Structures are given as C-alpha cells and as structure tokens.
C-alpha cells in the first residue's frame, strides 16, 4: 500500500512537470552591443588621464580642500550612501529566502464542542483513564518548533539573490558616478569664482583708467578744447563700469554660496587662489582609447550590472512556470492537561510534509510577470548601449572643445594686446587733439570687453579639461 502511494505521487509529479515543460516560454535574451570605435581619431595611445586620482589631477591646494570637504559633507552623496545600505539589505532579504523559516510556538486554550457532533460523541465515549471521561471543556497546551522551506530546484531564488547582488554593485557604481559629477561641479565652480575675481580686478583697473581720462577731459573742457558733451559721455562710461563692478560682486557671492551648498555648509567666504586666471595653464589630457571607457566610467559599469540583474530576473520569472517544492515540519509537546504535558511519547507531536505545487489554469499573472521581466531586460540593453554611446560622444565633444578653445584663446590674446596698444595711442592722440573723444571711449570699451572675454575663454579651457576628466571616468577612484 505504501509503495502504491509513492508510485501515485511520483506519477502526479511527472504529469505536473510534463504539463509545465510544454507551456513554459523560451528564454528571450537580447545581446547588447559592446563594440566601440578603435580610437577617437588617428591616435591609439592608451595613456588615459581618467585613471589619475583626483588628488593628483588637481594641483591647487585650495581646490583640493574644497573637494575633500564635499566628499565628507555633501548631502546628495550621503543620500546615495543610504541607497547602498538599502541595496545591501535587499541582498539579505533574498538570501533569507534560500534558508528555512523556523519559528517557536507556545500556546494555551480551551475548546468546547457540541455533544451531538462526531468529535463530541467520540469524546463522551472516551475515558482518559478508567472511570475518568474526557472533560466537556477541553484545555489545550502546546509548545513546539515549526519550520518551512522551499527547495530551490530551478534556481529561482538563487537567481533572485544574484540579481540583488548585481543591483547592489550597480548602486556602488552609481555612488562613484555621483562622486565624479560632484568633483567636476566643484572644480568648475571654483574656476568660475577665479574668473569672476579676475574680471572684477579688470573692471576696477578700467574704472581707474576711465577716471584718469575723465580728469583729462574736464581739463580740456575748461580749455575749451572739448564740449560738455564729452565730459558727460566719459562720466556715463565710468558709471556703467561701476555698475558692472556690482554685477560681478553679486555673481561672486552667488558662486561662493553655490560652492558652500555643494560642501554641505552655510554661506561663508571661500578660500581660493589669488593668482590671475589668465596665468593658469590647463592640464595636459590623454584620452586613451574608447574601449577603456567600459572599465573607467561608473555609469557604464552601473548600466552593465543593471543589465546582468535584468537577465537574472528573466530566469527567475521563467522558473515560476515550473512546480515549486515546499517542505514543512514540526515537533513539540501537546496535551490537554499539564499533568500529561511531559508524558512521553504520548504528548509528543511531529509532522513532516512535502508539497509540489504547479499552476495549471489561469497562469496570466506568471505570464505577465515574465513578459514584464523581458521588457525590462530589453530596456536595460538599450540603456547600456545609450550610456556607452553618450560616453564616447562626451569625450569626442570635449576633445574638439579643447582644441577650438585653444585657437580662440590665442586669437583673443592678440586682440587684447592690440587693444591695449590702441588705448595708449588713442589717449596720446586725444591729448594732442588729433583724435576725437568718442574714439577714446570706444577703444576703452572694446578693450574692456576683450579682456573680459579673454578671461571667460580661459575659464572655458579649464572647464573643458575638468569635463573631459569627468567624461573619461576620472575622479571616483
């Protein structure tokens, strides 16, 4: 009889497996394209600036101190670190699903069943001991250990855990990506601040020159060599430059506050270099080869890990079509009276059961979850390919930007030199009444604009170096 039950159970399990295997959809794996161009141009030099640590890449000690402070206090970075903790806890959750669930249980109760029921009639005709029937109100005392466990025969739970591990590692790379962005933003803001300092110094010096020219015009007006109109024009130009001075001071204040915000602190003066930004030289950059981006860029590595997790999700969702094997067991003591609680073996309870569960009808939920997992996997593939493409484009754009900015800076430098000479010439001609005052005004105005544009181009050069360092994946290591 026992063997016959085993045969029936085995036959039922075989039927379930056969039905499941006939209807389980095939795994759909979309392969991502990891091919990138061999180089950014004709160079195949593998020397890569992105592998340099930020403490070695940036040489300004004040900038280093700002970055170091931000890495310890920036709120966005701290939020990302908590996301790491959340992802780590998800791994623990998936790991716990692989282990048996064991609980201890203790209880006490009382039950009174109807006399004219099968249980009541049985109890009434039963004696606990000779001459002592079962009481109508029957107490129940219990203490025991219960356990359940799902056997991971299709690797469903293991794949779910591996997916959680990949997502945790992706979050780590996400944290690294936040680091690269934060360092780049602080460096760019710092160079913005130095640029504004230099422009403010230029404007103040220009105001001094304009005041000197105004005094000359006033003297010539007294000598009837120019009219009141010339004096008014020069005074208006001085007022315009003073207004520009306050605009720059406001921008300096806002930039300082922006840096303080990135550092996670309230507004305070930013300690910075007093050097003229025009004298600063951009660092030399080596881009290496495009394939290095796959290993250097945190966002690419994060996208790759998310893709790996999505593929594991598809496998876990597919395993839902197969039967699940659950095992439950219990052992303990149970009696209706404390006097019999420790009477062995009569008070001992135990159980052991196995359940093979296979969905046969209305499997739309499983199908929908499997289709969703496939769609998310496809999304992850496209996201990975887009991230790689975006990384290549960012590096290519910054390479072109650095090259064009250097040419622009060289031309603007010559322009500033020529306009400085023009100021001297126009002032000399004006004193000897050989040039009109408007020529002096226009020359000073053009020179001021050219100097401001020159410092702005220098800032763009420094920013381009920072941006390509970020684009190459530098800053997180």
User: How is the chain split into domains, by residue range?
Assistant: 23-99+156-321+364-471, 101-151+324-357
**120 has pLDDT over 70:** yes
Report d(CA 263, CA 270) in Å as an integer.
11
Q: Rounded to two decimals, what is the model's pTM?
A: 0.85
CATH of 101-151+324-357, one of 2.20.200.10, 3.30.230.10, 2.50.20.10, 1.10.150.120: 2.20.200.10
Give residue 2's pLDDT. Answer: 44
Determine the CATH number of domain 23-99+156-321+364-471.
1.20.1600.10
- Which of 359, 28, 420 shows the shortest CA–CA distance to 202? 420
| Strands annotated E in 296-343 | 324-335
User: pLDDT digit string (tens) for 260-305?
Assistant: 999 999 999 999 999 889 888 888 899 999 999 999 999 999 999 9
Q: Do strands 324-335 and 348-357 pair parallel, antiparallel, or not at all (unpaired)?
A: antiparallel
* Beta strands across the sheet bearing 324-335: 101-112, 137-151, 324-335, 348-357
As a whole number, mean pLDDT of residues 442-451 equals 90
**1 has pLDDT over 70:** no
Residue 257 zone, left/alpha/beta (φ > 0; ψ -120 to 50; rest):
alpha
User: pLDDT digit string (tens) for 416-426?
Assistant: 999 989 888 88
As a whole number, mean pLDDT of residues 86-95 equals 92
Which of 93-102, 135-144, 156-165, 465-474 bottoms out in mean pLDDT, i.e. has the lowest? 135-144
Greatest mean pLDDT among 19-28, 133-142, 222-231, 265-274: 265-274
User: What integer best gives the mean pLDDT of the chain?
Assistant: 88
37-to-42, 212, 301, 396 alpha-carbon distances in Å = 11, 60, 18, 12
**13 has pLDDT over 70:** no
As a whole number, mean pLDDT of residues 469-475 equals 94
Asked whether 293 and 473 are in contact (CB, 8 A), the reply is yes
Report d(CA 131, CA 280) in Å as an integer.
108
Residues 6+ apart with CB under 8 A from 43: 287
**49 has pLDDT over 90:** yes
Give residue 19's pLDDT. Answer: 52
């Amino acid at each position: 009889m026992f063997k016959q039950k085993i045969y029936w159970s085995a036959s039922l399990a075989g039927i379930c497996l056969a039905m499941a295997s006939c209807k389980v959809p095939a795994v759909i794996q979309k392969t991502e394209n990891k091919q990138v161009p061999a180089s950014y141009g004709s160079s195949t030099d593998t020397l890569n600036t992105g592998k340099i640590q930020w403490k070695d890449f940036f040489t300004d000690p004040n900038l280093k101190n700002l970055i170091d402070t931000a890495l310890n206090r920036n709120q966005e970075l701290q939020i990302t670190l908590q996301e790491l903790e959340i992802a780590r806890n998800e791994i623990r959750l998936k790991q716990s699903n692989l282990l048996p669930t064991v609980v201890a249980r203790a209880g006490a109760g009382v039950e009174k069943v109807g006399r004219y029921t099968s249980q009541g009639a049985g109890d009434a005709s039963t004696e606990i001991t000779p001459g002592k029937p079962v009481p109508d109100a029957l107490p129940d005392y219990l203490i025991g250990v219960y356990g359940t466990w799902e056997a991971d025969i299709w690797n469903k739970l293991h794949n779910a855990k591996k997916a959680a591990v990949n997502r945790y590692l992706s979050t780590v790379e996400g944290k690294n990506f936040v680091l690269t962005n934060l360092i780049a933003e602080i460096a760019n803001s710092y160079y913005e601040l130095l640029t504004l300092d230099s422009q403010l110094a230029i404007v103040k010096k220009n105001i001094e020159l304009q005041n000197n020219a105004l005094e000359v015009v006033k003297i010539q007006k007294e000598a009837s060599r120019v009219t009141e109109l010339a004096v008014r024009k020069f005074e208006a130009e001085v007022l315009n430059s003073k207004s520009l001075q306050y605009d720059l001071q406001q921008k300096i204040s806002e930039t300082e506050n922006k840096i303080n915000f990135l550092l996670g602190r309230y507004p305070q003066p930013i300690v910075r270099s007093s050097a003229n930004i025009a004298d600063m030289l951009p660092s030399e950059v080596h881009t290496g080869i495009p394939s290095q981006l796959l290993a250097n860029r945190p966002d690419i590595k994060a996208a790759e890990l998310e893709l790996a997790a999505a593929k594991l999700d598809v496998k876990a969702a597919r395993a839902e079509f197969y039967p699940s094997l659950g095992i439950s067991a219990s052992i303990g003591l149970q009696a209706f009276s404390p006097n019999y609680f420790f009477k062995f073996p009569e008070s001992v309870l135990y159980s052991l059961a196995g359940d093979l569960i296979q969905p046969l009808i209305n499997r739309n939920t499983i199908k929908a979850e499997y289709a969703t997992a496939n769609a998310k996997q496809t999304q992850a593939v496209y996201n990975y390919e887009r991230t790689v493409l975006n990384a290549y484009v960012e590096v290519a754009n910054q390479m072109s930007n650095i090259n064009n900015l250097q040419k622009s800076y060289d031309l603007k430098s010559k322009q500033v030199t020529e306009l400085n000479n023009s100021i001297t010439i126009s002032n000399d001609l004006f004193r000897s009444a050989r040039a009109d005052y408007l020529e002096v005004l226009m020359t000073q105005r053009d020179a001021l604009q050219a100097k401001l544009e020159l410092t702005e181009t220098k800032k763009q050069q420094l920013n381009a170096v920072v941006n390509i360092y970020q684009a190459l994946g530098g800053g997180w290591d």
